[in-house]
Amino acid sequence: MPQPSVSPASGDNSDPALPSAGRQGRRSHAALLRYLGKRLVISVFLLFGITLVTFILTNLVPGDPVAAAVGQRAAEDPAVVAAFRAKYGLDLPLPQQYANYLARLVQFDLGTSWQTHNPVAKDLSTAIPATMEIAFAAIVCAAIIGVVFGAWSAYKRGKITDQVLRMVSLVGISVPTFWMAIVCFYVFYYRLGIAPGSGRLTPGVSAPPHVTGMYTVDALLAGDLRAFVDAAAHLSLPTLVLTLYTIGLLTRFSRTSFLEVLDSVYVRAAKAKGLPGRTVFFKYVLRAAAIPILTVVGLAFGSLLSGTVLVESIFSWPGLGSYAYQSASNLDLLAVMGVGLFVGVVYLSINLAIDIAYGFIDPRVRVG
């Protein structure tokens, strides 16, 4: 505070003339609002940035979109090209094109896929629930196991348990997920026959009525136990593969968070005054470590969404990943951009939510 003060030792708090608590409360309230406002503005700019990136990649790539769309022979006729460019606004100046692109995006018009001939937004609306089903299942499993491993490893710091868990988690993040998917499919389906094959349901089992688009949830809502069991069984292998990767990530990060808390003075004090280990863990350690761990779980969820790109295609799971894979390998650009845009926005929202949560929980963040 650059406030001139009469006596050098007196800060704001020690001045009895000021209702310090009230003033501070109001100030920290304003600081929180300012912080939230700043984060929101930054997010909006990043959102524009994301659209700008996809716009540039969609429109300015080497290779002629006209030739790709109307065919090589028609592209040799200048009249056809001019008509095409006028129709899709390709003859307009670039800022104008970008504005048009944004106007279309606001209406959820992401263009039409060359491959499926559907609007990309429509394809995405069926693919997203399928992916979310795996992603939610995997993040829940991975968060539980990863946090337990992280805590265990931190408590046994330097011991053999810690070394083994650290090694396992490092191996976990080193495994190529697409390879792990093939190995799991081969072992559990082809060799052992304990997992169902690819897809979301066994042929013959009818899909439950559409509510959320997640078959397990929809089947439960409809009370269709047979469809639920079948959908859950099909869900198991892709979830397993993504969980294995995410466990490694979460174990490593939650271990660090737990270690920081375990080193803190108040935890040592709690131990020193003889509180039982369980009380110390649940009342002190877990509570303090929860925030950074939640952050990492949020970020892991984002990376999990990109992990599905490499896994879903192997299990013929008709989600975002398969869609992205098929569009990318057929160079169906608009579809790829649609997936990129969606995942980018999800990523951004998670980051914003984390920032806001931090602002509420940790006063140091909003002051700094």
- Closest separation in Å from C-beta 144 to another protein: 23
C-beta of 219 vs 341, nearer to another protein: 341
Q: Does 142 bind another protein (CB under 8 A)?
A: no
Contact indicator for 258, 219 with CB cutoff of 8 Å: no
Q: Does 339 bind another protein (CB under 8 A)?
A: yes
Find, among 195, 300, 293, 323, the residue nearest to 246 by Cα. Answer: 300
Contact indicator for 23, 12 with CB cutoff of 8 Å: yes
Please choose, out of 114-122, 128-136, 290-298, 340-348, the segment that lies near another protein by the rule CB under 8 A: 340-348
Q: Is 213 left (phi over 0), alpha (psi -120 to 50) or beta?
A: left
d(C-alpha 57, C-alpha 300), whole Å? 26
Residues recorded for the chain = 368
Report the site for another protein in 238-277 (rule: CB under 8 A). 255-256, 259
d(C-alpha 201, C-alpha 256), whole Å? 40
C-beta of 49 vs 199, nearer to another protein: 49
Query: Among 31, 32, 36, 46, which residue sits at the site for another protein (rule: CB under 8 A)?
Result: 46
Please choose, out of 1-9, 49-57, 70-78, 110-118, the segment that lies near another protein by the rule CB under 8 A: 49-57
- Closest separation in Å from C-beta 164 to another protein: 10
Q: Does 199 bind another protein (CB under 8 A)?
A: no
Total residues interacting with another protein, rule: CB under 8 A? 59
Please choose, out of 67-75, 116-124, 282-290, 324-332, the segment that lies near another protein by the rule CB under 8 A: 324-332
Site track for another protein across 271-310, x = CB under 8 A: -------------------------------xx-xxx-xx
- Closest separation in Å from C-beta 212 to another protein: 24
Query: Among 33, 86, 331, 367, which residue sits at the site for another protein (rule: CB under 8 A)?
Result: 331
Q: Quote the tokens at residue 250.
A: 């979460």
Contact indicator for 184, 192 with CB cutoff of 8 Å: no
Q: Does 68 bind another protein (CB under 8 A)?
A: no
C-beta of 215 vs 258, nearer to another protein: 258
Query: Among 39, 55, 58, 218, which residue sits at the site for another protein (rule: CB under 8 A)?
Result: 58
Contact indicator for 218, 351 with CB cutoff of 8 Å: no
Kindly tell me the sign of the dihedral angle through the C-alpha atoms of 268, 273, 274, 276: negative
For the chain, the C-alpha Rg in angstroms (whole number) is: 27
Please choose, out of 3-11, 91-99, 162-170, 204-212, the segment that lies near another protein by the rule CB under 8 A: 162-170
- Closest separation in Å from C-beta 63 to another protein: 7
Find, among 253, 255, 252, the residue nearest to 155 by Cα. Answer: 255
Q: Does 190 bind another protein (CB under 8 A)?
A: yes
Q: Quote the tokens at residue 83.
A: 């008509």
Query: Among 324, 355, 358, 359, which residue sits at the site for another protein (rule: CB under 8 A)?
Result: 324
Q: Does 139 bind another protein (CB under 8 A)?
A: no
- Closest separation in Å from C-beta 54 to another protein: 7
Residues that bind another protein (CB under 8 A): 42, 45-46, 49-50, 53-54, 57-58, 61-63, 157-158, 160, 163, 167, 170-171, 173-176, 178-180, 182-183, 185-186, 190, 255-256, 259, 302-303, 305-307, 309-310, 313-314, 324-325, 327-329, 331, 333, 336-337, 339-340, 343-344, 347-348, 351
